[in-house]
Amino acid sequence: MGQGRHMPEVIINQIGKRFDEVVALRDLTLEVPDGEFLVILGPTGCGKTTMLRCVAGLERPSEGTIRIGDRCVFSGREGIDLPPRDRDVGMVFQHYALYPHMTVYQNVAFGLKVRGLPRQEIARRTAQALQIVELAGLENRRPRTLSGGQQQRVALARTIAAHPSVLLFDEPLSSLDPDLRTSVREHLKRVHSAVGATSLYVTHDQSEAMLLADRVAVMKDGGLLQIGDAQVIYSFPQTMAVAEFTANPRTNLIKGEVYRAAQGLLLVPEADPYCFIPLSEECAPYAGRIVILHVRPEDIEILPRPVEGMGRLTLLALMPEGALHFVHLRFGDGIGQLLARSRFGELPPLTRGQSVALRFRRGNVYSAETERLLGSFGFNESLARREAAPSIESR
């Protein structure tokens, strides 16, 4: 279906959108190369769906320009605003909106009939779309007899049957249960590979973004915080806001002073001045500064007994979850807490209330004033080189 077709890039330039006094988008600039699967990640209310609807032509931006390939589909300055039908985009919504009285075949073919395509072409495109989403053989079933995942795949088939050059996905999996979400994610990746359309996919699910994306763009408060390779964003979030939102279930952000002592480089947490956490020598440039240390739970190594002169961390809870263990730790007698994550069999024997030590394998250091990335430690060179390319977008 996508073989031999040129899929246009999508260029969003300084788009703004206001609803009366509410600013939904602010100076948003984004380029999506042809054929890319870009995931827009952000919390509810950050503007990601509004941005998608602006590209589709369902919302009119307050300013800026949008180009799809060599065509300008919106320009506030020039008064251009092409209707959705002329933008060559297809949109898959959270709700399937299938016609209950129609069969699967009729639902997929409906839009093609409205466009007046010949019967033979309708049959060819419908069969091809159902084959791509692996629903061939269910043509005569009605929506009520299908699972939620199958219904969403019917909606996807209906969209791709129109052969749009740009596919827009507005949280299409959010109403499915976890098992179905996993299954339909796999279908989405296969569909994108088969169709090849330039795709923008909106979600608030961090795992979904990391699994599906060629690149991830993180949004907050109507602006773009960071865009880039999913693994680079996860490892090197450029701001604390990105670090927090790409966490699953949460991450560790510890404010404290980097201190040079006889036993090495230490972090003294603001929440507990009697706790001393050892740091890599890569953090030496921050000695004497108040910083915010960011460490993912999987990057914490727990040692079964405290180290002399290193302060005390108390094990609050050990919570198994499948093949993983989540370990909740507290700084000394303070209120600060850490979350560590290990695979089954990697942890030493531990009991609640036990005092332990720890080591940070990898992490990031942020400015306490700007909350922006100062540097990182413990990462391999190949990943660090990928991170070197600028990825911050002006908000």
Distance (Å, rounded) from C-alpha 329 to C-alpha 344?
18
Of 283, 278, 287, 247, the residue nearest 358 (C-alpha): 278
- Residues 86, 27 share a domain: yes
- Residues 73, 190 share a domain: yes
pLDDT in tens, 139-186: 999 999 998 889 988 999 999 999 999 999 998 888 777 777 887 888
Res 393 pLDDT > 50: no
- Residues 285, 198 share a domain: no
SS3 64: strand
Residues 234/39, Cβ–Cβ less than 8 Å? no
3 in a domain, yes or no?
A: no
- Residues 27, 172 share a domain: yes
Structure tokens given for 184: 């339909």
Domain containing 157 equals 10-239
- Residues 180, 93 share a domain: yes
More confident residue, 253 or 343: 253
More confident residue, 365 or 147: 365
pLDDT in tens, 193-231: 888 889 999 999 888 898 899 999 999 999 999 999 999
227 in a domain, yes or no?
A: yes
- Residues 136, 122 share a domain: yes
Distance (Å, rounded) from C-alpha 74 to C-alpha 373?
35
Distance (Å, rounded) from C-alpha 142 to C-alpha 107?
9
Banded model confidence at residue 334, pLDDT cuts 50, 70, 90: low
Hey, what amino acid is at 314? T
- Residues 253, 144 share a domain: no
Res 364 pLDDT > 60: yes
- Residues 334, 216 share a domain: no
74 in a domain, yes or no?
A: yes
User: CATH number, domain at 340?
Assistant: 2.40.50.140
Cis amide bond preceding 249, omega within 30: yes
Packing angle of the helix pair 148-160, 119-132 (nearest 10 deg): 130
- Residues 248, 213 share a domain: no
pTM of structure: 0.86
346 in a domain, yes or no?
A: yes
User: CATH number, domain at 172?
Assistant: 3.40.50.300
Distance (Å, rounded) from C-alpha 169 to C-alpha 92?
5
Structural domain total, the chain: 2
Structure tokens given for 394: 């002006």
Number of Cβ within 10 Å of residue 132's Cβ equals: 22
Q: Which pLDDT score, from 0 to 100, does residue 201 have?
A: 95
Res 117 pLDDT > 70: yes
